């Protein structure tokens, strides 16, 4: 089931991309693409039309907030989960206003990723 879900990880840190990919692979997800900044995330999302995008906020070239706005405009079905260390009131309000699906505060834990993926794919036990 999880194999069918396409995910894009967008983070400028190779460490975070690696750790998040490992957590998602442990949950059985296989279709994972990586983007290094907001601009790449928009391009990769257009190409692969993912169900879920994990989006960092502080990034060079294009911030996660700008990329969120563009992805939501073009792919309203895609659930964009903000995954950032900067969960400030300003960022949270802005992300909600622009239609972010959820916000995961870094440091990322396997448990938090599991929970948010279950919610995003409606596969929780609720």
Partner 1 sequence: MFTQYFGHYLLNRNLVSLPQLHEALDQLQSTRVKLGVLSVNAGYMSAAQADDINQLQATMDKRFGEIAIDKGLLTEEQLGELLSAQKESHLVLGQALIDQGTLTLEQFQEALEQYKRENYLSDEQFEAIKNGDIDVLVSTLLKLDQTKDNEWYQQYLSLLAKNMIRFIDGQLFMEVNAIPRDYHCDWLVLQRISGQAKLTTGFSMNEQAFLRLASAYAEENIAAPDEMAEASVGEFLNLHNGLFLVTMSNHGVELELSPQEISRDASLPPIKSGLLITVYLSDVSFELVLSVD
Binding site for partner 1 (CB under 8 A): 12-16, 18, 58-60, 84-90, 105-107
For partner 1, the closer of residues 51 and 56 by Cβ is 56
Q: Give 43 or 58: the residue with its C-beta nearer to partner 1.
A: 58
Q: How far is the CB of 42 from partner 1 (least distance, A)?
A: 18
Question: Closest approach of Cβ 85 to partner 1, in Å?
Answer: 2
Measured from the CB atom, the residue of 20 and 75 that comes closer to partner 1 is 20
Residues 6+ apart with CB under 8 A from 48: 6, 8, 31, 33
User: Judging by beta carbons within 10 Å of its beta carbon (0-12, 13-18, 19+), is residue 1 exposed, middle or buried?
Assistant: exposed
């Amino acid at each position: 089931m999880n194999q069918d879900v396409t995910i894009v990880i967008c983070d400028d840190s190779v460490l975070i991309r690696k750790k998040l990919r490992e957590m998602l692979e442990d949950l059985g997800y296989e279709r994972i693409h990586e983007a290094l900044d907001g601009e790449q995330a928009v391009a990769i999302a257009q190409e692969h039309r993912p169900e879920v995008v994990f989006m960092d906020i502080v990034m060079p070239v294009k911030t996660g907030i700008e990329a969120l706005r563009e992805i939501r405009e073009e792919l309203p079905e895609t659930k964009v989960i903000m995954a950032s260390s900067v969960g400030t009131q300003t960022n949270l309000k802005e992300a909600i206003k622009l239609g972010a699906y959820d916000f995961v505060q870094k440091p990322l834990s396997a448990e938090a990723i599991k929970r948010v993926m279950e919610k995003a794919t409606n596969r929780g036990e609720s």
